[in-house]
Amino acid sequence: MNFPILSSLILLPTIGALFIFFVRSSNSQYQSSKYVALFITLANFFLSLYLWIVFDKSIVDFQFVEEREWISGFVNYKVGVDGISILFILLTTFITPICVITVNATIKNRLKDFLIAILILETFMIGVFCSLDLVVFYLFFEAGLIPMFLIIGIWGGERRVYSAFKFFLYTLLGSVLMLVAIISIYWISGTTDVIKLYELGIDAKYQNLLWLAFFSSFAVKTPMWPVHTWLPDAHVEAPTAGSVLLAAILLKMAGYGFIRFSLGLFPDASLYFVPLVYTLSLIAIIYTSLVALMQEDMKKLIAYSSVAHMGFVTLGIFTMTQQGIEGSIFQMISHGLVSAALFLCVGVVYDRLHTRLINRYGGLVSIMPRYAIVFMVFTLGALGLPGTSGFIGELLVLMGAFKKNILVATIASLGVILGAAYMLWLYKRIIFGKLINEDVKKMVDLKRFEIVTLWLLVLPIIFFGFYPEPLINSIEVSVANIIDVNDLDKINKLALGE
């Protein structure tokens, strides 16, 4: 491969950010910097789409691998994609332009800085998904904290300072142990190159501790119960675009990390800790669903629903079955689209009424019919109705879980019902009911750019709901490989006593 397509994907947003930074600011140029950002992010989207098309889905190996010496004799800058990471890159490049479009309504001050922050964040997010070296991965993983901290802190709501600090310190605290683990891996195996580590394997006696160190980082980021408390705060206070990026992509970094590193590098330890992950995932699914039922703030409700959905993801990954892992990936992509859409929907009504309290709304269907339709699609997507992408993910995860442990699967299925309960109730309270509030009556229906962004999200949700093949096709070989390479099947069978 001659053209460094992945590095271009990573660098392009930064170049855009630099461009916006160096262009002198005056009020009239605010708009143009927005177009620059939109152009850059769209270019990045098409580039990644091209990557997906030329990507050979039948090959197990990492493709488009680039390697350059970086810290001499120690760490190489190495990037590459397989069927799993390419989907996350696509998700990132798809969601970012949508965020750029939404800044129009939501960001009132310092638009330029906001666009720069988003573009820099995109660089880091793409970097996370294609790095093939633990140190490079850590670098991108942690670096994302800086722009997100600023996005929440500068453009956030009333309690933004508290939320930004909580977000930053929680994640940092989780991650430092991962750094210790990464350096330890270097001294144990002599490399931090993921591909080489897959081949070498890591001695079983170290795996448990290393696994826990990685887990501490990913669990905070996922977020799993009981370290999920930063998420509702961060979501509530972040501006719409920030919430969207947080829910759609930043949370997925951890799920991706679980698959790529926890399963890939420490198969024995993963198996050992399966009961722990099952327990935490089930608590997340049931407990946070119940909490979500009681929320009065829309964003908080969706934030808690994210925790529950991510519970399905972790559950699916640690079933260590083809269906479970595929389901988790599918669920992550689907949740990326649906939660992004839901936060956008909240943003739409928040911009009009400046409140997120559910009981201030009601009866929107009669004044905002277009809004009611798209919101319905996303609600159904979130609760996993057949025909939406949410269904496929949950179904596959539950299939994987049933294969392993019927009790766990049954409890998880309860979560689906609870999910339907809180989502439908939310929908009912906002869209239906009597139109009492005077302010609500004055609300206008969706503007043009809102229609564009929301329908852009409706399409893939329904399309992949009916025709999941392109996604499944892309991840199938890679997932099978992860299970294969690490003999997860064999270990599974041993564990079952077959």
Partner 1 sequence: MENLQLIIPELFISIMIMFLLIFGVFKKNSSQLVYNLTTVSLVAALALIINLDTQIQSSLFNNSYNIDSLARFMKILLILSGIFVMLSSSKYIQISKISKIEYPILILCSILGMMVMISSNDLIVFYMGLELQSLALYVLASFNRDNLLSTESGLKYFVLSALSSGLLLYGCSLIYGFSETTNFNQIMINTKEIEYGLTFGIVFILVGLAFKISAVPFHMWAPDVYQGSPTSVTVFFALLPKIAALTVFIRFLYIPFYELGDQWQMIIIFLSIASMVFGAVAAIGQKNLKRLIAYSSISHMGYALAGLSTGTMQGVQSSITYITIYLVMNLAFFSCLFMLKRNDEYYENIDDLSGLSKNHPLLSLSLLVVLFSLAGIPPLAGFFAKFYIFVAVINEKMYFLAIVGLLATVIAAFYYLRIIKIIYFDPEKEKFESKHNLGLKFTLVTSTFFILAYFIYPSGIVDIISEININ
Residues contributing to the site for partner 1 (CB under 8 A): 69-72, 74, 113, 135, 138-140, 142-143, 145-146, 149-150, 153-154, 160-161, 164-165, 168-169, 172-173, 176-177, 179-180, 183-184, 186-187
Cα(289)–Cα(301) distance, integer angstroms? 9
Cα(391)–Cα(382) distance, integer angstroms? 9
Cβ atoms < 10 Å from Cβ of 12: 20
CA atoms in the 13 A half-sphere facing the CB of 53: 6
Give the nearest distance from C-beta 141 to partner 1 in angstroms.
8
**Smaller CB separation from partner 1, 100 or 116:** 116
Please report where in the chains the tokens 């933004």 appear, as a residue: 160
Please report where in the chains the tokens 């389901």 appear, as a residue: 327
**Smaller CB separation from partner 1, 158 or 498:** 158
Outline where 318-405 has alpha helix (H). Answer: 322-353, 364-367, 369-383, 389-404
**Smaller CB separation from partner 1, 183 or 290:** 183
Give the nearest distance from C-beta 21 to partner 1 in angstroms.
9
Give the nearest distance from C-beta 147 to partner 1 in angstroms.
11
Give the nearest distance from C-beta 150 to partner 1 in angstroms.
7
Cα(128)–Cα(125) distance, integer angstroms? 5
Cα four-point dihedral sign 21, 23, 28, 32: negative
- The DSSP element (H or E) to which 319 belongs, if any, is none
Structure tokens at 79: 């990037």
**Smaller CB separation from partner 1, 237 or 450:** 237
Please report where in the chains the tokens 């709901």 appear, as a residue: 465
- Of 426, 419, 450, residue with least CA distance to 341: 450
- DSSP letter assigned to residue 77: E
Q: Collapsing DSSP states into helix, strand and coil, what is residue 68?
A: strand
**Which distant-in-sequence residues (6+ apart) come within 8 Å of 407 by Cβ?**
none
**Smaller CB separation from partner 1, 179 or 420:** 179
Give the nearest distance from C-beta 13 to partner 1 in angstroms.
14
Give the nearest distance from C-beta 74 to partner 1 in angstroms.
8
Give the nearest distance from C-beta 163 to partner 1 in angstroms.
11
**Smaller CB separation from partner 1, 94 or 124:** 124
**Smaller CB separation from partner 1, 133 or 450:** 133
Give the nearest distance from C-beta 107 to partner 1 in angstroms.
15
**Which distant-in-sequence residues (6+ apart) come within 8 Å of 386 by Cβ?**
465
**Smaller CB separation from partner 1, 177 or 367:** 177
Cα(426)–Cα(442) distance, integer angstroms? 21
**Smaller CB separation from partner 1, 147 or 390:** 147
Q: How many residues does the chain have?
A: 498
Give the nearest distance from C-beta 168 to partner 1 in angstroms.
6
